[in-house]
Amino acid sequence: MQLLEQLGTISFEIGSGCNYAHSFCPITDPLRYPPEELATPLDKTVVGDFLKAARENGFKGHVGWNIYCEPLLYAERMADWISFILVSSPDTKFSLLTNGRLLDFKHKSLLQKFNKICITLYSRDDEKRVIPLLESGLLEGVSEVVLGYTWLSEYLLRHPSNIGTFLTSPDERIRVYDVPPSQIYTPCARPMHDMEINYYGNVRMCCIDYRGSMKIGNICRDPAQIVIESFIKTAQEAAKGTPPICSKCKSLWSNCAM
């Protein structure tokens, strides 16, 4: 089996900002990008080269654009990078995870380039704005649309069969570095679900270890093959439950729709 054959998504964080940025989100943590890891931001050439190496290692999953940023804040850059990738690899599948606040018909042609779109709704006002957009056909042609709810909405019970829904809740991951370790052995497959690469090219073990306590590599600086092998080694450690941060984690695994 090739190294990345089972990997579901590679997420390249296309920007560093969010239009929501609630206090429970790591995007508000000043240590999210440790100073020693601030290098050059990602660009489309680095992303394209890394994807080429990933494909050579068996990657067939989705390409996404966020870790904690809101990708639609960077719609123009996303459209440019997607077009760039499609030139050399027309079969690439793209996914979008968004809070939905910037969904609009002006982005329709960009949105149709995605195979999967997951919208996390944080308020009833968001729902009032997003549902009519979906019912008006904004995401027509997108194979998979999923709504993540942070409350038990009636829409969860009566949604059209072509829209998936799930219930989620803002979690305590921002506190993960401060809580004492538990004695619970936590083998976890989360890293192989989604390889997360932040705005400065640093590869993270998972969205919980957003400060990068597990050192993997940087795709702007290190050879892609070395980064991929280092990521797999870390994913194997997570599968055994040995990374220290895993002993503090209540695991997002069951909460994540992407």
Binding site for ligand SF4 (CB under 6 A): 186, 188, 190-191, 205-206, 208-209, 238, 243, 245-246, 249, 251-253
Between 62 and 190, name the residue whose CB sits nearer to ligand SF4: 190
We find the least distance from the C-beta atom of residue 194 to ligand SF4, in angstroms, to be: 10
> Residue 116 or residue 204: which is nearer to ligand SF4 going by CB?
204
What's the min distance (Å) between Cβ of 70 and ligand SF4?
Answer: 22
Q: How far is the C-alpha of 41 from the C-alpha of 250, rounded, in Å? A: 30
Between 73 and 246, name the residue whose CB sits nearer to ligand SF4: 246
Say how many C-beta atoms besides its own lie within 10 A of residue 250's C-beta. 16
**C-beta closer to ligand SF4: residue 56 or 229:** 229
Residue with tokens 């997570």: 238
Beta carbon of residue 35, minimum distance to ligand SF4 (angstroms, whole number): 22
Beta carbon of residue 207, minimum distance to ligand SF4 (angstroms, whole number): 7
Burial class (CB in 10 A: 0-12, 13-18, 19+), 180: exposed
Q: Looking at beta carbons only, is 151 or 185 nearer to ligand SF4?
A: 185
Helices (H), the chain: 44-56, 75-88, 108-111, 124-135, 155-158, 190-193, 224-240
CB of 191 to ligand SF4, least distance (A): 6
Minimum Å distance from CB 55 to ligand SF4? Answer: 24
Query: Which is nearest to 189 in space by CA: 147, 239, 149?
Result: 239
* Helix, strand or coil, per DSSP, at residue 166: strand
Q: What share of the chain is helix, strand, coil (3-state, %, to 5)?
A: 35, 15, 50
Which among 243, 209, 64, 84 is positioned nearest to 144, based on CA atoms?
Answer: 64
- In this complex, which beta carbon is closest to ligand SF4, that of residue 124 or of residue 175? 175
